[in-house]
Amino acid sequence: MRWIRSHLLAFAALAVLAYMLIPNIVVAVFSFNDPVGRYNYTWTQFSTAAWTDPCGAQGICDAVGLSLQIGITASLVATVLGTMIAFALGRYRFHGREPTNLLIFMPMATPEVVMGSSLLTLFLMMGVPAGRTAILIAHIMFCVSFVVVAVKARVATLDPRLEEAAADLGANPLQTFLRVTLPLAAPGIAAGALLAFSLSFDDYIITNFNASPSSITFPMYVWGASQRGAPVQVNVIGTIMFLLALAFVFLGQFLSRRREKAA
């Protein structure tokens, strides 16, 4: 009992962590379920049927494909736009810094319902049809702010003396940027791009406002599934995504640790 008391904090922390991870575990477990009926909420019996045929449910893999497409494109564009803004904010003095900061902060502070619905009204007025393009535009819009925050945090840690040293050693501005500034800012840019991708891939509310029947993204598919009947493949894809991302992160950490040791 004493041991528990002195480690109270650790227990509380781990309990909260468990609370956060249980649904993921449930999703994984229920990907092996063979449900009766349309819904996958109660455990019936163990089956790997869904795993052997992950695209079996109609439209699910198309939805994943579309989400990947939009996610990658939106992430790329948002990263470029956001990185440029972050450098401007972090490196230069200019007029209008306050309003710029405010405008970048606002999309992070606005409820998705408002952003999605307002874009819908804009597109209606401009005559832009709902669908892929509208979704892409919307995703780029709300991702830019997050990229700015991620890159700006990194740029703030860059020692300006390093760029002076490069110039002192004969590198012109372009060489300095390519060989010193960019490599050092890269982790922040990568973090921003990753963040943008996951925000885009996982978005439902804003996408829903601007989608058409021919542009079903994966979150929209899942939503429909929750209303009409969820195939087990949803759990399978969800678990695959989870494992892939986890592997990706651990691989990254492993590689960076190896690089440190090798030198």
Residues 67-96 that bind other proteins (CB under 8 A): 81-82, 84-85, 87-88, 91-94
Nearer to other proteins, 51 or 87 (CB): 87
**Interactions with other proteins, residue window 43-62 (CB under 8 A):** none
**Interactions with other proteins, residue window 205-234 (CB under 8 A):** 205, 208-209, 218-219, 222-223, 226, 230, 234
Nearer to other proteins, 41 or 46 (CB): 41
- Token readout for 238 is 């969800």
Give CA–CA dist 179/138, Å, rounded.
Answer: 34
- Say whether residue 40 binds other proteins (CB under 8 A): yes
- Say whether residue 24 binds other proteins (CB under 8 A): yes
**Interactions with other proteins, residue window 179-208 (CB under 8 A):** 180, 183-184, 198, 201-202, 204-205, 208
**Interactions with other proteins, residue window 89-128 (CB under 8 A):** 91-94, 100-101, 103-115, 117-122, 124-125
- How near is the Cβ of 115 to other proteins at its closest, in Å? 7
Number of residues that bind other proteins (CB under 8 A): 104
Nearer to other proteins, 113 or 255 (CB): 113
- How near is the Cβ of 105 to other proteins at its closest, in Å? 5
- Say whether residue 239 binds other proteins (CB under 8 A): yes
Nearest to 102 by CA among 89, 114, 91, 118: 89
Nearer to other proteins, 57 or 166 (CB): 166
Give CA–CA dist 12/18, Å, rounded.
Answer: 10
**Interactions with other proteins, residue window 128-187 (CB under 8 A):** 137-138, 140-141, 144-145, 148-149, 152, 159, 161-162, 164-172, 175-176, 180, 183-184
Out of 6, 19, 46, 127, name the contact with other proteins by CB under 8 A. 19
Contact 226, 208 (CB under 8 A): no
Which DSSP string corresponds to the chain? -HHHHHTHHHHHHHHHHHHHHHHHHHHHHHTTB--SSS---S---B--HHHH-TT-STTHHHHHHHHHHHHHHHHHHHHHHHHHHHHHHHH---S-HHHHHHHHHHHHHS-HHHHHHHHHHHHHHHTPPSSHHHHHHHHHHHHHHHHHHHHHHHHHTS-HHHHHHHHHTT--HHHHIIIIIHHHHHHHHHHHHHHHHHHHHH--HHHHHT--TT---HHHHHHHHHHH---HHHHHHHHHHHHHHHHHHHHHHHHHHHHHHH-
- How near is the Cβ of 48 to other proteins at its closest, in Å? 19
Nearer to other proteins, 2 or 161 (CB): 161
- How near is the Cβ of 174 to other proteins at its closest, in Å? 11
